[in-house]
Each structure stands twice: as C-alpha cells, then as structure tokens.
Structure 1
Amino acid sequence: MQQSTTRRTLHYYWQVTRKHKGLFWGLIVSTFLFVALLSYGNPYVMSLVVDRVSEGGVGPDEVFSAYGPYIVALIAINVFGQAASKFQDYTLYKLEIAAAYDLATMSFDALCNQSMSFHSNRFGGTLVSQTSKFMSAYQQLIETIMFPFLPVMCSVIFTCGILAPRVPVYVAILMALLAVYATVSYIMYKRILSLNEKAASAQNQLSGELSDSVSNILAVKTYGREDYERGLFDAANREVVARDSKRMWASLTRGIITASITVVIMSVVAVFIAGGNAWYGITPGTLVMMFTYTYTVTNQFNFINNGLQRFNRAFGDASGMTTTLDEPRLVADVAGAPDLQVREGAIDFEGIGFSYGDGDAKTQVFDDFELHIPAGQRVGLVGLSGAGKTTLTKLLLRLSDIQQGCILLDGQNIAQCTQQSLRRQIAYVPQESLLFHRSVAENISYGKPGASMVEIREAAARANALEFIERLPQGFETQVGERGVKLSGGQRQRIAIARAILADCPVLVLDEATSALDSESEALVQDALATLMKGRTCIVVAHRLSTVASLDRIVVIDSGKVAEDGPHEQLIAAGGEYANLWNRQTGAYLE
C-alpha cells in the first residue's frame, strides 16, 4: 500500500515537473557541472601540481612557466563551477515556485470538484493541512534529489572514471563497499517509509482535531467541555509523539549501521594511501586524488541517510493528499457536457432512486420517486425529519448524484449538463448562511461577479438589509468575519437573500431559511423572501408550516414518497398527515 501511494505521489509530481522540463533539465545539468568542476576538477588539477612538485627542478624564475597552465586551469574551473552553482540556484528556485503554483491549483481543483459526501466525511482542517504538506513535500523531494542524490551519482561516476585506470583494485574494493552501503540504506529506507506515512497520518488527525475544536469553540465553551476537547487533542498529540518516536529510532538505527560502513571504507583508503607508493608505485598526486575523491564520495553517501529520511518524510507528508487526489469524483461532468440553458424553470423528478452509504451500510432514501413542478410555481416540501426533503434539493443541485431515474430542468437532463451551469441557474439559501470572511459587498455579489455598487445596494434594499448594513462601521466594506460571525443570524440570512436576489436565477431553493431566527428577524426575512420568490420556480423546505402555508402548493414527503400534494386549504380539509402536523404546530390539540 505504501509503495503504491509513493508511486502515485511520484506520478502527480511528475505531471507538474514535466510542464517545466526546461528548468528541470537545467537544474540537473548545472548540478552535474557544479560537482564535476568544484568537487573533482580542483583535486584533479592539484594532483597534477603535486606530481610536478615531486619531480623538482623548478627554479624561482620558472614558477609561472612551469605551473602557469595549472593556475589558469584552476581559475577557469572555479569560475565556471561557481557560475554553474548560481545557475543551479536559479533553476531550483524557479522550478519550486512554478511547481508550487501548479500543485496548489491541482489540490484546490480536486477539493472543489469533490462531492458534498466527500467533504461531509472529512475535517476541513485536515484537508488544508494535507494540501500544505503536499506542496512542501515536492520542494523537499526536489532539493533532496538535487543535493544528496545527484551529487552521489556524479561522485561515483567521476571517481570510477578518473581512478579506475590508475588503481583498479582500489576502485573495485571501494565500489563493493559503497554497494553494500547503498543496499543497506535502501532496505532500511523501505522499512521506515511506512513509519513516515503513519506519522504523517497522525499529524493530519491532530490538525483535524484542532480545527474541529476551534471551529466549534462556542459549543465547547457554552457546554464547559474544554477538558474533554483537550483530552481528544492530547490523545491525538500523544499518537503523534509515539509515531514520531518510532520513526526517530528507526532512522537512528540506520544511521549507526551506515556510519560503521563508512569507517570501514576510510580504513581501507588509509591502508592504500599508506602503502600505495611502496606496493604499487602510485604517485603522490594520485594518492592525493584517492584520498580526496574517497572522502568526497563517502561524505556524499553519508548524506544519503539524511536524504532517505527526507524522502521518507516527504512521501509520508504527501500521502494524505495523494489519496485524496486518487479519490474518484462521486459527482462528475460527462465528457463534452453542454451548459444548461433555463428559460422557464420547470422541474421534473422522474423515477428517482437514491441511497447513501456509510461504510458498508446503505440507506434507501428514494425509490421510483416522481414529482412535477411547473415553471413559476412556489412549492413547499414538508414532512418529518429524515423524510428526504433536503436530500431532494441536494439532488437537484447535483451535490450528490441519483442512482436511477433522471431530473429534468426545462426538459434537460441535469446529469448531462455541466454542474457549474446548473448551479448558476439555482439560487440556494440554506438554514445557515454561507458567508465568507470578506466584505459585505463581496458576499452579496458572490453570485454575480462584477456587479456594480448600485446593483449591490438595490439587492440589499430588497432583502431588508440596507438599513443595518449602513450602520456597520465600514458599511458595505465591513468584513463579516469567518462564516459571518460578526453579524446576527437575521443579518446573515438577509445578506444571503440579497445575494440570491442579485444572482437573479430562474429557480430558487430555500432550505429552512427562517427556522433559526427570532420573530422580528423572521418577519424581515419572510418579507425579503416574498420579494425574492416573485416570478421564480421555488422549492421551500420547511418544518415551520407557517412559512409554506401561503405557497401555491405543498408536497408532504414521507419515507421518500409523496404522501400528500395540494394547496394548504385542500390539505387541511383532507385531514391527513399535513393537517396533523399543522394542528400540532398551531396548538389545536391543546383543547
């Protein structure tokens, strides 16, 4: 499972990287040149200098003639090496900036295009944390490849290429020891990878617990549950500590083993350098190269431990968002779907079958459900909790997809049209107003980008919101706080209605839009809703029957079926379920 997730992470990262192949290959070439020139070019020229010095016979007036070419070579190597180093920095920064943009866009699109069922089963804070880690993991991965790993490959290539013709036995022994080192590191890397994913999962859970508590801080405080929430957070925090500790000990164990191999390698080079001239006639310059190159390559291999640890952490951090990106979209547009065109607003639910699942459990909500709403008709949906009223509106908005049947809007199957075009034809006002931490004006104009202030003010006036907005500290420029926390419930709802008025959609869905308001706020909101409903096809979900009594038609839903259908007076006279609900709410049974 871990390897599969790692491969999928690499797949997504490569999708982004190949869009910037010029930067990527420029980074590789500059790294190759940087290592070749500064780590291997300098010692090579110095070995030639040492051999020339050991030959003797150079007088004071012959220094520049004898060593001039070496001096020029060293200067050129360092000039071009430093230039390669700076170009490496440039391409790395540019690639990371470009990739961060693409990864953020990829994650945002994936989250925004997922169904409401997906979001209902996840912490918002966890998804934010996963996105952030997914982006930073790419940066960590690229930097790890370009600094420990690519230089290691270069070091092995250059060490073999330069020393093998001169001391083949030494190179063979060195490569064998390095192969053991690399094999041990890789085996332990695979073992630690699962520990990193578990540690990242624990960290995501901790972020989710924190987000959940902070988002619902009013409930925490008003019920005196600070200690309980702290207990949940502490349990998640302790799990993070436990998993991080396991990862730490595994990494330390790997470091001790590989450090022991490094000691063996340096012991071999010490023996060869000490006896190289006596046993094999190796020149002083070559001995200098042997020590310098071996020290360089073993140092680079030492960085492999840190690099593999960073690899582990990067893949572990990225695993959460990788899994999210792999999630199938429960609600998706068909290929080449056209935009929905609505002129009148007639709605037809034909043979609807829908069930939702929680794990392996399935709950049937609708089975062969039928309902026709003519254009311009105002329809109330009533019934007991769990009857399917709100679910029906979500199916109309395609927040979830039906399993059988079809929903038609002006004769067009909404499943065959783009979701965005569908939702732009439906103004939705829920029980809890959906406000952003932005200005009042931005919130009202959300359904009509580019609306003028004249249009915004007119919509606010029609929603009975203009008076209170103008009393706010900065009027329409006042920031409303997260989810509109700076405003009262009635004020938030009137802003949501102003948004719906400005959007001017042919279809209106009101889902318990006044149930949480006090009497005064409800009266203002009801008046605004009456304005909003004029000339539109309206679906009003309500438990408070007084809000639907004046509508053209009332549909009673019971266990996913239409139990009663007709105007208020007709349903009262029928003495059925609607009449019973009405009598309970109006106190008729108290007599």
Structure 2
Amino acid sequence: MPHDDKARRGAAPARSRGDSTTRRTLHYFWLVTRRHFGLFAGLMLATFCFTALLSYGNPYVMSLVVDRVSAEPVAADQVLEVFGPYIAALIAINVLGQTASKLQDYTMYKLEIAAAYDLATMSFDALCNQSMSFHSNRFGGTLVSQTTKFMSAYQLLLETITFPFLPVICSIIFTCGILAPRVPVYVVILMVLLAVYAGVSYYMYKRILHLNEQAASAQNQLSGELSDSVANILAVKTYGREDYERGLFDQANREVVARDSKRMWASLARGIITACITVAIMAVVTVFIAGGNAWYGITPGTLVVMFTYTYTVTNQFNFINNGLQRFNRAFGDASGMTVILDEPRLVADKPGAPPLQVREGAIDFQDISFWYTDGDTRTQVFDGFNLHIPAGQRVGLVGMSGAGKTTLTKLLLRLSDIQEGRILVDGQNVADTTQQSLRRQIAYVPQESLLFHRTIAENIAYGRPDATMEQIREAARRANALEFIERLPQGFDTITGERGVKLSGGQRQRIAIARALLADCPVLVLDEATSALDSESEHLVQDALATLMKGRTAIVVAHRLSTVASLDRIVVLADGKVVEDGPHAQLIEAGGEYARLWSRQTGAYLE
C-alpha cells in the first residue's frame, strides 16, 4: 500500500481521538467551572453588557445625532435643548459600559484564580493516587509540564471565550436586531457571508486540532528529556556524555520545531482563506453604503451604523481565526493531562473501604500471583506464592537480584496490586482497606533514600508531622545521624536539596532511617536500608534497628547477609519461590543456597 494511503487511513482515527480528548477536556473544565458558576455567569453577563453598550450603543446614538443634523439646521441656542438627551444617553452608556468592563475584569481574575486552584488539586490528586507502575513509565518532568499546561489551557480557553467569541455572538445579535428592520436585504447578505466565514473557520479548526495535540506532545517529550538529563547530571558529567545528551535533546527539540512548523503553515492557510472572505464582506458593505441612499433611501445615520456595525462584526470574526488557533493550542496543551485524568487507577481503594487496624502485625501472603505487563510482554514474578510471618517476627528476605524480594515488599504496601491471591495483615485483606491506612502502619526505608527539598527536620518528621524537636533529635541520635547534622551550619534547618543531593549517600540513608524510627509503626520494612553505610555506621545503625524491631513485625531485604544474620528467620527467594526458610545457623548447616551466598561474601560475621 502506498505511504500516502496509509497516512490517509491513519488520519481519521487520530482526529477521532482528538475529538474524544477535546470532549473530555471540556468535561473536566466544566466540572471546575460549575463550582464557581456565579463568577462564570457574572463574567458572561458583564461581557455581554460591555459589548452591547460600548460597541453598539455608542454608534447607535451617534446615528440618531447624524440623522437629526441631516434633517434640518439647529440654532446655536438650541443645541443643548435638541441634543441634550443624546448627550445624556452617551454619558450613561459609557458609564455603564465602563462599569461592565471593570466587572468583567474582576470576575475573570476571580474565576481564573479559583479554577487554577481546583485544576492544580485535581491534577495533583490524579498523579499522587496513581500506581508506581504508572510513574515508572513516565518522566517526572513531563508530568509537571502537563500539569502546568493543563492549568494554563483553562485560562487560555476562558479568555478566548470571553473576548473573541462572546463579543461575536453579541455582534450578530445586535447587528441583526438593529439593521434588519431598516435594511433587511443587506442583513441577509451579510449573515450568509458570515456563515460561510464561520463554516470555513470551523472546518479548518477541526483539521488543525490534531496538529496542536502533536505539537503539545512534542513539547512534553522535550521537557521530559531535559528533566531526565538534569536529574541525572552527575552521571552525564562523570561519563562525559554531555554530547550524547545534547543529541537526544536536540532530536526532541527538532521534533518540536517540525510539529510547530506544520501547525504554523496550517494556521496561515486558514488565515489567508478567511481574510479573502473578510475582503468580500467589506466590498459588499462599501457597495451598499455608496448606493444605499440612492437605491433604498437609507438615511445618513443608518449608513453610519451599517458601516460601523459591519466593520465591528467583521473585526470580531477576524478575531475568531485567532481564537480558534488559541482553542487548538489550549486543547492540545490540555490533552496530556486529560488522558492521565481518564486513565484508570491501577491501584484503587474500593468504595467505602475501611481503614486497616493493626493490633499485632501478622502478615500472610496467600497463593499470590503477580506479573508485570509491558506492551504485549508479560513477566511472571510470583505464581501461587505463600509466606506466613507471625506477629513480631523479624524476617530477612535474601536471594539473587530479580528473585522478587523488593517486589514482595511493594505488593505488601500496595504500590502495585496482585492479580490473584490475598495479602493479609492481622487477617485483614489489604486490598479491602484504604491504602493510606495501610502505609501509615508500615515504616518503609527503601534502598534509595527518598528525601524532599526541605529541611532535615521536616524530612525526619515526614511520617509524624506532629513530632516535637526533641523527638526529632532523639530519632536522629538513634539513627547515628545527630553528629553529622549538628556539624552542618544550619543544623536541622539545613535544606537537603532536591532528592537530598546536598548530603552523602550514607547521610541520606541515616535521615531515612531516623524518619522510620520516629514514625514508630507496628510493621517495619527495610529494603537494603543499610547498603549505603560504611562498616562503622552500619554497626551503629544496626544496633538502633535491633532496638526498633523488638516487638514489631520486620521484613528486611538485604544482599549483604551480615544485615540479616541475627534475625529470627531468613527466607531465601529464587525465581519468585521460597527455596529455603529458617534461622541463619540452620541454613548454614543445611549447606544450600543461603550457605553458598554466605561463603561468597567476605567480611561476614556470625553472632
């Protein structure tokens, strides 16, 4: 099949998807607008009054003045008497029109501020409540860019409706209402030409809409590439890959230029066609004005109104061209976040789900099956997996990389949902309880420390925001972090930098451990929590962790077997299955997989 035929066959679905996304974008924007309908109605009314009074009231009164002047001369001493009512009417019209103008400004600002808050909240909730699988497949920078564009798109759409489109409707109404009784033939011809103009503009708008979505997608990809390079700038510099990253960025940047150029040429073509229609309209009005008095006996005042109103409505229709272009840009910019808002949550609470109540902390994995899906490829991680962890038991999970250790902890936290089976905490199925209540009962310290661009004190207290400064200091001390924190110039008020970049790996990890200590949850999950510590710090932190784990259910994922050697029980995983299970000494004596792993590691110790 020729390439052009393929392109034509693919174009219709693309436009169809664009139409669907546009409707969904309008749905979300309407949800926000409906909450502030009083402001929206006030804005529409103020715009209608402003246009009617200043654009049509003034010319109409002036036409009456012209007709009166043309009828017969007015003596100097009768000017105020004859024209006084017209002067008063003009003053009243302008006072009311300017008042409507300021009311328009006020309602516009208030609605934009209120809507921006609601849209930001809507986007934040959608992103925060999506699964880790969702976030793993997307650039963080792209998500930020899509959120910003989504909020800006509402503002652009509102301003476009308020300024080009509502005045156009007003123009048509008042032009027909005032001129139709006087020159009906002219009004009919004018309306036909304006209908052709509107139809051509709309048709070309529909053709360009998908080009705007493609341009917005390219912009989002560019933001993602920039974010990815900046977030990993240390790797870029240490491997001397600046040129490579610049090449990736340049490729994305050129794609933006290409798609923006296609949109530009399509918009210019639309502008040229509509400009030709505008010329035709002005030619018609010129003919009517030139011969109106001779052919139809049209008064000079009416001729003034005809020209003024036609010129006004034609200008307004010229703005439609620009307005449709802004519509295209708004819907294109909003499309990325609209798709995200429509995307089902892979991990969602059931309606009316109760909070998890942890009394003892017993954990059961019962016949669980879990797999990742990437396109058409399915990777099985667990198939009928079972594991019972009694309350208060300290369990180590070990095994080769890819055995499923970290995945198991994420399933417990419901960062992803299992496809089959049940995970129980004190007999409660975690899938039937709220996610927040589950995670507030589990202190989680991952392999990579998760720190915010905030103070050290705020980072430590993140799981317990009501903690006192003394409690924060105590948690830092127990995590062997107090000494280095107090050496910092601002101490606990030190800003850690994005993702804790201002601290060393070991320091970040101790801050994360201090956070878990302060949270004081009944269940503790440590995923390589001591991997970034030197031997001395590890020894001190393990003492703190040993104290923390007493009386609590603890799951410790570790490659460094010295971390788990003193735990109550060690579970060895391989290919998503339990291959060994027992205390350290028993597993060493068995001479199996655990003993083989132990013998490979140097510097290990037995207690």
If the length of structure 2 is used for normalisation, what is the TM-score? 0.96
Q: Deviations over 1:398-447 (max 9, x none)?
A: 00001111111111111111000000000000111111111010000000
Report 1:326-345 matches (<5 A).
326-345=342-361
Q: Which amino acid aligns with 1:265?
A: I
1:106: which partner in 2?
A: 122
8 Å contact from structure 2 (residues 478, 541) kept in 1: no
Q: Which amino acid aligns with 1:161?
A: G
**What is the DSSP-based 3-state SS (H/G/I as helix, E as strand, rest coil) of the residue aligned with 1:334?**
coil
Cα deviation, residue 587, structure 1:
8.8
1:228 and 2:244 correspond: yes
Work out the CA distance in 2 between the residues paired with 1:378 and 1:366: 22
8 Å contact from structure 1 (residues 337, 418) kept in 2: yes
8 Å contact from structure 2 (residues 65, 86) kept in 1: yes
1:115: which partner in 2?
A: 131
Q: Which amino acid aligns with 1:368?
A: G
1:545 and 2:525 correspond: no
Cα deviation, residue 8, structure 1:
0.4
1:468 and 2:484 correspond: yes
**What is the DSSP-based 3-state SS (H/G/I as helix, E as strand, rest coil) of the residue aligned with 2:601?**
helix
1:239: which partner in 2?
A: 255
Cα deviation, residue 489, structure 1:
1.3
Q: Which amino acid aligns with 2:27?
A: H
Cα deviation, residue 65, structure 1:
1.1
Cα deviation, residue 470, structure 1:
0.9
Question: 1:41 is matched with which residue: 57, 62, 70?
Answer: 57
8 Å contact from structure 1 (residues 490, 522) kept in 2: no
Q: Deviations over 1:282-328 (max 9, x none)?
A: 00000000000000000000001110010000000000100111111
1:209 and 2:195 correspond: no
1:315: which partner in 2?
A: 331
2:461: which partner in 1?
A: 445
Cα deviation, residue 520, structure 1:
3.0
Q: Deviations over 1:482-539 (max 9, x none)?
A: 1111111111111111110110000000001122333233233323322322221100
Cα deviation, residue 212, structure 1:
0.1
8 Å contact from structure 1 (residues 490, 525) kept in 2: no
Report 1:409-448 matches (<5 A).
409-448=425-464
Work out the CA distance in 1 between the residues paired with 2:163 and 2:562: 70
**What is the DSSP-based 3-state SS (H/G/I as helix, E as strand, rest coil) of the residue aligned with 2:559?**
coil
Q: Which amino acid aligns with 1:48?
A: L
Question: 1:559 is matched with which residue: 575, 581, 595?
Answer: 575
Cα deviation, residue 585, structure 1:
1.7
2:42: which partner in 1?
A: 26
8 Å contact from structure 2 (residues 452, 499) kept in 1: yes
**What is the DSSP-based 3-state SS (H/G/I as helix, E as strand, rest coil) of the residue aligned with 2:22?**
helix
2:12: which partner in 1?
A: none
Question: 1:180 is matched with which residue: 165, 190, 196?
Answer: 196
Q: Deviations over 1:169-205 (max 9, x none)?
A: 0000000000010011001101110110000000000
* Number of residue pairs matched by the alignment: 588
Question: 2:211 is matched with which residue: 195, 203, 221?
Answer: 195
Work out the CA distance in 1 between the residues paired with 2:198 and 2:478: 73
1:355: which partner in 2?
A: 371
Q: Which amino acid aligns with 2:376?
A: D
Q: Which amino acid aligns with 1:102?
A: D
2:6: which partner in 1?
A: none
8 Å contact from structure 2 (residues 463, 518) kept in 1: yes
Work out the CA distance in 1 between the residues paired with 2:343 and 2:567: 42
Q: Which amino acid aligns with 1:361?
A: T
1:404 and 2:386 correspond: no
1:76: which partner in 2?
A: 92
Cα deviation, residue 18, structure 1:
0.2
8 Å contact from structure 2 (residues 164, 320) kept in 1: yes
1:374 and 2:406 correspond: no
Report 1:505-544 matches (<5 A).
505-544=521-560
2:145: which partner in 1?
A: 129
Work out the CA distance in 1 between the residues paired with 2:566 and 2:251: 53
**What is the DSSP-based 3-state SS (H/G/I as helix, E as strand, rest coil) of the residue aligned with 2:36?**
helix
Q: Which runs of 5 or more structure 1 residues have no equivalent in the other structure?
A: none
Work out the CA distance in 1 between the residues paired with 2:313 and 2:50: 15
Q: Which runs of 5 or more structure 2 residues have no equivalent in the other structure?
A: 1-16
Work out the CA distance in 2 between the residues paired with 1:47 and 1:515: 86
2:8: which partner in 1?
A: none
2:341: which partner in 1?
A: 325
Instruction: Give the share of equivalent positions with the same residue, in percent.
Output: 84
**What is the DSSP-based 3-state SS (H/G/I as helix, E as strand, rest coil) of the residue aligned with 1:5?**
helix
2:5: which partner in 1?
A: none
2:73: which partner in 1?
A: 57
8 Å contact from structure 1 (residues 273, 291) kept in 2: yes
8 Å contact from structure 1 (residues 129, 207) kept in 2: yes
Question: 2:400 is matched with which residue: 372, 379, 384?
Answer: 384
Q: Deviations over 1:330-351 (max 9, x none)?
A: 0000000111111111101111
Work out the CA distance in 1 between the residues paired with 2:72 and 2:421: 96
Work out the CA distance in 2 between the residues paired with 1:419 and 1:120: 19
8 Å contact from structure 1 (residues 436, 482) kept in 2: yes
Work out the CA distance in 2 between the residues paired with 1:135 and 1:292: 38
1:85: which partner in 2?
A: 101
**What is the DSSP-based 3-state SS (H/G/I as helix, E as strand, rest coil) of the residue aligned with 1:508?**
strand
Of 285-294 and 476-485, the range deviating more from structure 2 = 476-485
1:153: which partner in 2?
A: 169
**What is the DSSP-based 3-state SS (H/G/I as helix, E as strand, rest coil) of the residue aligned with 1:58?**
coil
Q: Which amino acid aligns with 2:292?
A: G
Q: Which amino acid aligns with 2:531?
A: S
2:7: which partner in 1?
A: none
Of 517-526 and 401-410, the range deviating more from structure 2 = 517-526
1:497 and 2:506 correspond: no
**What is the DSSP-based 3-state SS (H/G/I as helix, E as strand, rest coil) of the residue aligned with 1:551?**
coil
8 Å contact from structure 2 (residues 480, 537) kept in 1: no
Cα deviation, residue 462, structure 1:
1.1
**What is the DSSP-based 3-state SS (H/G/I as helix, E as strand, rest coil) of the residue aligned with 1:399?**
coil
8 Å contact from structure 1 (residues 462, 531) kept in 2: no
8 Å contact from structure 2 (residues 395, 554) kept in 1: yes
1:477: which partner in 2?
A: 493
1:298: which partner in 2?
A: 314
Q: Which amino acid aligns with 2:433?
A: C
Work out the CA distance in 2 between the residues paired with 1:548 and 1:381: 8
8 Å contact from structure 2 (residues 451, 498) kept in 1: yes
8 Å contact from structure 2 (residues 211, 262) kept in 1: yes
Question: 2:286 is matched with which residue: 252, 257, 270?
Answer: 270
2:30: which partner in 1?
A: 14
Work out the CA distance in 2 between the residues paired with 1:445 and 1:516: 21
Q: Which amino acid aligns with 2:100?
A: A
Q: Which amino acid aligns with 2:104?
A: Q
2:590: which partner in 1?
A: 574
**What is the DSSP-based 3-state SS (H/G/I as helix, E as strand, rest coil) of the residue aligned with 1:367?**
strand
Q: Which amino acid aligns with 1:287?
A: L
1:171 and 2:171 correspond: no
**What is the DSSP-based 3-state SS (H/G/I as helix, E as strand, rest coil) of the residue aligned with 2:358?**
coil
**What is the DSSP-based 3-state SS (H/G/I as helix, E as strand, rest coil) of the residue aligned with 2:365?**
strand
